Amino acid sequence: MIGSYRASFNEHFSEEKYREFLEKLENGFTKIPFRVAETPIFLPASLKEKLIAAGAEIVALIRQPDFKELTEKSIPENWKVPAENAQPHFLTFDFGICKDEHGELTPKLIEMQGFPSLYGFQALLGETYKAIYSLPEQLTPYFNGIDEAGYIALLKEVVLGDHEAHEVALMDIDAPNQKTAIDFLVTAQYLGIKILSLSDIKKEGKSLYYEQNGERIKLKRIYNRLIFDEIGDNTDLFKDSFDPRDELDIEWITHPNWFYRISKYTMPFLKSEFAPETFFLNQLSSIPSDLENYVLKPLFSFAGMGVIIDVKKEDIEAVADPENWILQRKVNYEPVVQAPDGGVKVEIRLMYLWPEGKEPVLCINLARLSRGKMIGVRYNKDFDWVGGTVGLMEK
């Protein structure tokens, strides 16, 4: 989107360079099962400032004294975890890049999460794009004057706190086989923490531990990457490990309840030029006559599952649990990144770190390029110049 960088990048791009880029990205880690785009995004200062302003409005909502009261019904009764803390440690906000009525680029909020994203991988990704494509030093994926060393130090503060690295573990259901395993490996390299599957963790009383070289090591913190929606009714997974809903002597980074509090559920409370009009379906006074301009989303799903893009009146009337759905005005992505064969749509994820008792800090970003009907891997399988990437900005 910064024209000079885009023109230069496209002129010097080659498939050979792209293969070299992917090889360096995976080297020493693991094969990446999701598509990484051929190019980074070059974010202009005007769009960067709008993203910062949009993010600040959402942070202000989350910091309202009544935010927990507003979002109490967001947490499914069967997934409430005790000992919730006062704040999340991660905030991620997804924005589609559009054009306003003046033809200027502007962000529109798509979704938000109080849950970690690819905080390790994105740092590696930005560094690798710059190295392989010989991009100018003044380009950075970081906000707020942060550099790589400062970013890793802040990530370490958030994840480790006052604990030793061996007392903290990144946990997912089957961590080595997750699609995001490369992020786990990069994070472990940065922070020195263990990567554990749910089955690697055992419970004794209220304590959790793992075994290493025949020794029991007590866990004090879990960097949680497990999404309860993935478990569903398969709670037998907890039998040989532990149930997160029990009273436990453990610190959650971040506490699982925040995954629900900061989510699609939060969207109707946000009134902003950067957020599309959103309604809880059970609070809708009448069905809009221009349904072609709306999308219907279930509250309790992830990765775009269950979303109805071409909404009809019958779809709304057929919903049995309207309190668990939202109707949201569509966001019209603009194909603003110029690939060699045309424009590509963009989504930018702002990624914050929120150290305990301190201020949230906008640190880094994640971006997705798309030519399909929706952003996401499953909708872009047959295209090139799509996939995960990062926005680079001038320092």
- In a 10 Å sphere around its CB, with 0-12 CB exposed, 13-18 middle and 19+ buried, how is residue 27 labelled? exposed
Q: Which pLDDT value is given to residue 262?
A: 97
DSSP state of 35: P
Considering only CA atoms, give the Rg of the chain. 21
pLDDT by residue (tens digit) across 17-73? 999 999 999 999 999 999 999 999 999 999 999 999 999 999 999 999 999 999 999
Position 376 confidence tier, pLDDT thresholds 50, 70, 90: low
For the chain, percent of residues with pLDDT exceeding 90: 91
> Tell me, what's the pLDDT at 381?
64
pLDDT digits (tens, 9 = 90+) for 156-200: 999 999 999 999 999 999 999 999 999 999 999 999 999 999 999
Place 305 in a pLDDT band, splitting at 50, 70 and 90: confident
| Coil vs helix vs strand at 60 | helix
- pTM value? 0.95
Angle (CA) 234-237-238 rounded to 5° is 115
Average pLDDT of span 331-347? 95
Other CB atoms within a 10 A radius of the CB of residue 218 amount to: 13
Percent pLDDT > 70 in the chain is: 97
Which one-letter amino acid corresponds to residue 313? Answer: K
Please tell me the predicted confidence (pLDDT) of residue 377. 56
Mean pLDDT (the chain, rounded):
95
